[in-house]
Amino acid sequence: MLVGAGQGRRRLAQGALLAGVLTGCSGAAEDDATKTSASASASADAAGDSDTAVKSGGTIGAAGSACELPVTFDIAEDWEAEAIDTGAAEEKGAGGGDGSGGSENDEVAQEIADALLYQGPVAAACEVDAKPAGNIGFLRVWTGKPGDVDARTVLEAFVAAENGVSKEKYSTFKAGGLAGVEVKYLYTSKLLEETKEESAIAVTTEKGPVVIHLGGLDTDEHRAMLPAYELAKRTLRTA
């Protein structure tokens, strides 16, 4: 199993991720954390009612698609998928550059790469960008090595590696012959003093576990993107 870097490094490196390493951005979340917590379940229910209005922009996951994965699923219209090459990132972090302070710089680069590309037992494999559709956020797909760990255990480890999580609510779902686990939770950034909603699902396949995570700039953006997340969950199949 791939094991993530320290929780602190991951969130510290999130700024680099949102600035350009994985092409994201940061911003303000809702000011009222209590209101956010109370409305988390209601927003999820609303998304379930509205996801049928989302048009499919195609399927990813199969050989020859933008991201080759152990599963396939539909992405929303205008969202753009791009594969994440963790191998290339590791090689870049291990490189010596111009030889000036190479060792120290390499260690820092590798720590950042680890924090960005690994979380718990899974590694980043694909990023689906919502910006072309008018939202600020991503569906990110994480994959792990084959094993006998169940989806609930994988998802719990994924969430545990994200420092600042609270109000986790787990549930089960089925799609395309797959039995999966979903979690809705709040993430609080102590650095930015923000709290926002996040969602993720996990399934296991013969090729290894898969986690699909939806974050967003803030809770409003997260809720706006939930129909695309529900589309992915509803159309999930083994590749």
pLDDT of residue 19: 37
31 lies in which domain range?
Answer: 27-84+120-238
For residue 51, give the CATH number of its domain: 3.40.1000.10
How far is the C-alpha of 36 from the C-alpha of 220, rounded, in Å?
10
Structure tokens belonging to residue 103: 């060792």
3-state secondary structure at position 95: coil
In a domain, 49, yes or no: yes
- If 0-12 CB within 10 Å is exposed, 13-18 middle and 19+ buried, where does residue 142 land? buried
Q: What is the pLDDT of residues 191-210, one digit of tens each?
A: 888 999 999 999 999 999 99
Average pLDDT of the residues of the chain: 79
| Integer Cα distance of 13 and 115 in angstroms | 6
Please write the tens of the pLDDT for every residue from 130-148: 999 999 999 999 999 999 9
Residue 127: inside a domain: yes
Q: Tens digits of per-residue pLDDT, 28-44?
A: 333 343 333 333 333 44
For residue 7, is it within any domain?
no
Tell me how many domains the chain contains: 1
- Do the domain assignments include residue 6? no
d(CA 192, CA 36): 16
Q: Is 105 among the domain residues?
A: no
CA distances for 112 relative to 8, 10, 94, 96, 217, angstroms:
11, 7, 12, 16, 21
Per-residue confidence (pLDDT) for residue 102, from 0 to 100:
60
Residue 90 falls within a domain, yes or no?
no
* Segment among 44-53, 65-74, 77-86, 181-190 with least mean pLDDT: 44-53
Tell me if 132 is assigned to some domain: yes
pTM score, whole prediction:
0.74
Give the number of other Cβ atoms within 10 Å of residue 7's Cβ: 16
Summarised one tens digit per residue, pLDDT across range 152-191 is 999 999 999 998 999 999 999 999 999 999 999 999 988 8
Residue 107: inside a domain, yes or no? no
Minimal CA–CA distance to 218: which of 201, 193, 194? 194
